[in-house]
Amino acid sequence: MFRKLVSLDEAIHIFEQQFHAKPGEVEQISLSQAHQRVLAKDVKAPLNVPPFNRATVDGYAVHAADTFGADEKQPVTLKLLGCVTIDEMPEIILNEGTTVGIVTGAPIPSGADAVVMMEYTIQKNKLVSIYRPVSQRENVMEAGSDIRKGETMIRRDQLLSSRDIGVFAALGFTKVDVYKRPRVAVLSTGAEIVEPGKSLVLGKIYDINAYTISAAVQECGGQPSNFGIVPDEIDELRAVLKKALASADIIITSGGVSVGPKDVVPKVLNMLGKPGVIVSGIAIKPGKPTTIAIVNKKPIFSLPGHPTSSLLIFHVFVRPIILKMAGRQQEPPFIVKATAAEKMFQAKGRRTFVMVDLIQDESGKLLARPVALGLSGAITTLSKAEGFVIIPERWQFINAGDDVTVHLFKPLPEFALSAK
Residues numbered 357-386 forming contacts with ligand AMP, rule: CB under 6 A: 377
Nearest to 134 by CA among 99, 107, 86: 99
Nearer CB in complex with ligand AMP: 3/343 = 3
256 is a contact residue toward Mg ion (CB under 5 A):
yes
Least distance in angstroms from the C-beta of 260 to Mg ion:
7
The one among 299, 304, 327, 370 contacting ligand AMP by CB under 6 A: 304
Residue type, 236: E
β-strand partners of 101: 60, 83
Distance CA(392)–CA(395), nearest Å, equals 6
Nearer CB in complex with ligand AMP: 127/234 = 234
327 is a contact residue toward ligand AMP (CB under 6 A):
no
Residues numbered 177-236 forming contacts with ligand AMP, rule: CB under 6 A: 188, 190, 192-193, 205, 207-210
Least distance in angstroms from the C-beta of 194 to ligand AMP:
9
Least distance in angstroms from the C-beta of 416 to ligand AMP:
28
Look at residue 107 and give the partner it binds from ligand AMP, Mg ion, none, a contact being a CB closer than 5 to 8 Å depending on partner kind: none
End-to-end CA, the chain: 48
Residues numbered 88-117 forming contacts with ligand AMP, rule: CB under 6 A: none
Look at residue 113 and give the partner it binds from Mg ion, ligand AMP, none, a contact being a CB closer than 5 to 8 Å depending on partner kind: none
Look at residue 193 and give the partner it binds from ligand AMP, Mg ion, none, a contact being a CB closer than 5 to 8 Å depending on partner kind: ligand AMP
Distance CA(257)–CA(218), nearest Å, equals 24
Strand segments, DSSP code E, in 282-402 are 284-285, 291-295, 298-303, 335-340, 344-345, 351-360, 366-370, 387-391, 397-398
Distance CA(307)–CA(212), nearest Å, equals 8
Nearer CB in complex with Mg ion: 255/287 = 255
Look at residue 302 and give the partner it binds from ligand AMP, Mg ion, none, a contact being a CB closer than 5 to 8 Å depending on partner kind: none
CB 259 within 8 A of CB 220: no
Least distance in angstroms from the C-beta of 290 to ligand AMP:
10
Nearer CB in complex with Mg ion: 132/204 = 204
335 is a contact residue toward ligand AMP (CB under 6 A):
no
Least distance in angstroms from the C-beta of 263 to ligand AMP:
6
Nearer CB in complex with ligand AMP: 347/359 = 347
Q: Which stretch binds ligand AMP (CB under 6 A): 107-115, 153-161, 251-259, 407-415?
A: 251-259
The one among 23, 190, 221, 327 contacting Mg ion by CB under 5 A: 190
Distance CA(311)–CA(213), nearest Å, equals 7
The one among 54, 180, 306, 351 contacting ligand AMP by CB under 6 A: 306
For residue 153, report the phi and psi dihedrals to the nearest 5 degrees: -90, -45
* Burial (0-12, 13-18, 19+ Cβ within 10 Å), 302: buried
Look at residue 78 and give the partner it binds from ligand AMP, Mg ion, none, a contact being a CB closer than 5 to 8 Å depending on partner kind: none
Nearer CB in complex with ligand AMP: 75/307 = 307
CB 21 within 8 A of CB 325: yes
How many Cα atoms sit within 13 Å of 407 on the Cβ side? 14
What is the dihedral angle through the alpha carbons of 150, 153, 156, 161, rounded to the nearest 10 degrees? -150
CB atoms within 10 A of CB 321: 20
Look at residue 192 and give the partner it binds from Mg ion, ligand AMP, none, a contact being a CB closer than 5 to 8 Å depending on partner kind: ligand AMP
Which SS3 state, helix, strand or coil, does residue 17 take? helix
Least distance in angstroms from the C-beta of 208 to ligand AMP:
4
Give the strand pairing for 121-124 and 114-117. unpaired
Look at residue 205 and give the partner it binds from ligand AMP, Mg ion, none, a contact being a CB closer than 5 to 8 Å depending on partner kind: ligand AMP
Least distance in angstroms from the C-beta of 200 to ligand AMP:
12
CB 409 within 8 A of CB 386: yes
What is 260-284 written as a DSSP string? Answer: STT--HHHHHHHHSSEEEEEE-BSE
- Binding residues (CB under 5 A) for Mg ion: these are 190, 255-256, 305
- Binding residues (CB under 6 A) for ligand AMP: these are 188, 190, 192-193, 205, 207-210, 254-258, 304-307, 377
